[in-house]
Amino acid sequence: MSATSATPAVAQVEIPRPALIPRVLSAFSGTPGVVAKIVLLGILNAFAFWAMYVLLTRSHWVSVVVLALATAGIDLVYLAPTRKTLPLKFLIPGTIFLVGFQVIPIFYTVKVALSNYSTGHVITKHDAIQQIKINSLQPPPNGRSYTMTVARTSSGELVLLLQDQTSKKFYVGTTKALTPLAPSTVTSGPLGITAAKGYTVVKGAELFALDKTLQNFIVPVGKAGIRPQTISTAVELEPTLRYDAKRGVFIRLSDGAVFADNGKGAFAHGADELEPGWTTGVGAANFKRIAKDPLVRQPFLRVLIWTITFAALSVAISFAAGLFLAITLDKRGMRFQRVYRTILVIPWAIPGFLALLVWAGLFNDKFGVINRMFHIGIPWLFDANWAKVTCILVNAWMSTPYFFLVSMGALQAIPDELTEAGRVDGGTPFQLFRRVTFPLLLVAVAPLLIASFAFNFNNFNAIYFLTAGGPPQANSSIAGSTDILISYTYKLAFAAGKGQDLALASAFSIIIFAIVALISAIAFSRTRALEELA
């Protein structure tokens, strides 16, 4: 065989295998993708129809229309054959999460801040009227108590078989009248009537299903009425208030005092208010309370000053410590350099709430390890000033590893040529750091410092798990010595006045947002100035 007739060898080229994500996406193309799309849209539509049904039962007509249009729009985008809707297919999921987790909470917070939503004002006016009617019922001077058995007549009418606990006489009560029962027709036991001729006793699950019906069941007795108290007892009650539906007021029967709607979600007669009230809009009343009410304004200003101090010092100390450690460990040739870096990162790896609880135990003035080890008696958590120092030190300890890593990366990103040129020009190490290293470092780190300040401004865990906002202050029943705005807002929401004051807390939340936004905007403008200088 000649050399010219020999078949040349063909080199085999190995085609690289596609990456995992493209392979997964390709697996869902075609028919599998259409099926998956229809299944997911079916689930979405099922939830939408369920939500619309719930909204319809509560007469939220606008929400029903919006939800129906949104669901139809999503179906159209994902089922339309045209490519014009392709960008929307990627935008819709992110938009839904944005609206659900950002826009709606913001609008709801503003809505609550402009209302009186708090303990005693959490229901509608209609429900409040019904509850006031129930609360106005009081036992008359000679009111009687009864053992009660729920029964039905032969025609299925619901009745109450009653035995007077004083006279031991038997009665049958309907919503129209109270009628005596002959003892010969009744079988009774220690817990009351067990059977009666002509009546069927209601028992078991059927009895418990009548709970709401029995709440509104009244047997008239003169001006009073017999009302079930439990499933086996009833008591004679009479109203102390009468509701005039035409005038929309309550009238106290004892003296004729009129309780009218005071426009603040309550029926009031002078300073006397009936409970409960109802939720209603009050405009900027909560913000006016913060500005004008000394009981709210003075603690707010004091807490605001401490919040800014806490956030600023926490960032300054942790950044200074992290930068110092980064410069120290950035030296080449240092032995055990990786070990030191690993140890310094440990505080950042420990769960924050767990570390704070441990530090709270270590700083205990009586049983804490710190006072016992050094034989001192400093009230770390029980003196206002020492508690503030403790909060700053512990928070700085937790934040230092973060700034250590950030500073380490920023330092390594600075070109060596710049520092070498400075040394050639005769600059000292301090001058090189102040004029070359630190300005370039700030360009990279300044946005992170701003973000850290905003985080510490709302660092609820650092305060609540360490001191719970304490120690308490003599001139404030809510704000403690170490409370920052977010923990003070939490206490306002759940421990203010008569109980929860979510409306005032929402107003504080808006103010906190405005303060952080203003400080961040100013700081970022300064950051841009640093970039221009660099």
CATH label of the domain that carries residue 450: 1.10.3720.10
Q: Please give the angle made by the CA atoms of 61, 67 and 73, to the nearest 5 degrees.
A: 140
**Based on the domain organization, do 325 and 419 belong to the same domain?**
yes
**Based on the domain organization, do 234 and 336 belong to the same domain?**
no
Q: How many CB atoms lie within 10 A of CB 230?
A: 9
User: Per-residue pLDDT for 2 more than 70?
Assistant: no
DSSP 432: H
User: Per-residue pLDDT for 261 more than 90?
Assistant: yes
How confident is the prediction for the chain on average, in pLDDT? Answer: 87
Residue 118 falls inside a structural domain: no
Q: pLDDT for 76-107, tens place per residue?
A: 988 887 788 888 888 998 998 999 899 999 99
**Based on the domain organization, do 257 and 345 belong to the same domain?**
no
pLDDT score recorded for residue 453: 93
Residue with the bigger pLDDT between 436 and 502: it is 502
H/E run at residue 353: helix 352-362
User: Per-residue pLDDT for 36 more than 60?
Assistant: yes
**Based on the domain organization, do 253 and 392 belong to the same domain?**
no
Residue 283 falls inside a structural domain: no
**Based on the domain organization, do 108 and 143 belong to the same domain?**
no
pLDDT score recorded for residue 375: 84
Q: Percent of the chain scored above 70 by pLDDT?
A: 92
Residue 493 falls inside a structural domain: yes
Rounded distance between C-alpha atoms, residue 267 and residue 125, angstroms: 10
Q: 434: which 2 tokens?
A: 């102040």
**Based on the domain organization, do 475 and 365 belong to the same domain?**
yes
The predicted model gives 357-365 an average pLDDT of 92
Residue 91 falls inside a structural domain: yes
User: Is 0.95 surpassed by the pTM of this model?
Assistant: no
Q: Percent of the chain scored above 90 by pLDDT?
A: 52
**Based on the domain organization, do 359 and 264 belong to the same domain?**
no
User: What is residue 36's three-state secondary structure?
Assistant: helix
Q: Are 186 and 171 spatial neighbours (Cβ–Cβ below 8 Å)?
A: no
Residue with the bigger pLDDT between 142 and 281: it is 281
Residues 6 or more apart whose CB falls under 8 angstroms from that of 506 comprise: 109, 110, 112, 113, 117, 286
Distances (CA, A) of 127 to 122, 244, 245, 347: 10, 16, 14, 52
**Based on the domain organization, do 215 and 303 belong to the same domain?**
no
Rounded distance between C-alpha atoms, residue 364 and residue 359, angstroms: 9
Residue 375 falls inside a structural domain: yes
User: Per-residue pLDDT for 201 more than 80?
Assistant: yes
Q: Are 37 and 81 spatial neighbours (Cβ–Cβ below 8 Å)?
A: no
Which of 176, 167, 116 lies closest to 146, judged by CA?
Answer: 167
User: Per-residue pLDDT for 42 more than 60?
Assistant: yes
**Based on the domain organization, do 503 and 403 belong to the same domain?**
yes
* Full domain range(s) for residue 164: 125-273
The residue out of 241, 273, 305 marking a domain boundary is 273
Residue 18 falls inside a structural domain: no
Rounded distance between C-alpha atoms, residue 322 and residue 410, angstroms: 12
Residue 75 falls inside a structural domain: yes
Confidence of residue 531 (pLDDT cuts 50, 70, 90): low
Q: Are 316 and 399 spatial neighbours (Cβ–Cβ below 8 Å)?
A: no
Which of 518, 490, 514 lies closest to 502, judged by CA?
Answer: 490
**Based on the domain organization, do 348 and 269 belong to the same domain?**
no
Distances (CA, A) of 309 to 152, 313, 382, 469: 71, 6, 20, 15
Confidence of residue 477 (pLDDT cuts 50, 70, 90): confident
Q: Pick the most confident of 21-35, 272-286, 419-433, 486-500.
A: 272-286
Q: 114: which 2 tokens?
A: 């402009």
Backbone dihedral region of 319: left (phi > 0), alpha (psi from -120 to 50 degrees) or beta? Answer: alpha
- For the chain, the domain total comes to 3
Q: How many CB atoms lie within 10 A of CB 502?
A: 23
User: Per-residue pLDDT for 68 more than 70?
Assistant: yes
Q: 146: which 2 tokens?
A: 């009864």
User: Per-residue pLDDT for 3 more than 50?
Assistant: no
Residue 10 falls inside a structural domain: no
Q: Are 389 and 308 spatial neighbours (Cβ–Cβ below 8 Å)?
A: no
Q: pLDDT for 382-407, tens place per residue?
A: 999 999 999 999 999 999 999 999 99
Which of 452, 321, 312 lies closest to 388, judged by CA?
Answer: 312
**Based on the domain organization, do 243 and 147 belong to the same domain?**
yes
The residue out of 242, 273, 304 marking a domain boundary is 273
Which of 66, 61, 57, 53 lies closest to 104, judged by CA?
Answer: 66
**Based on the domain organization, do 298 and 444 belong to the same domain?**
yes
The residue out of 113, 133, 167 marking a domain boundary is 113
User: Per-residue pLDDT for 154 more than 60?
Assistant: yes
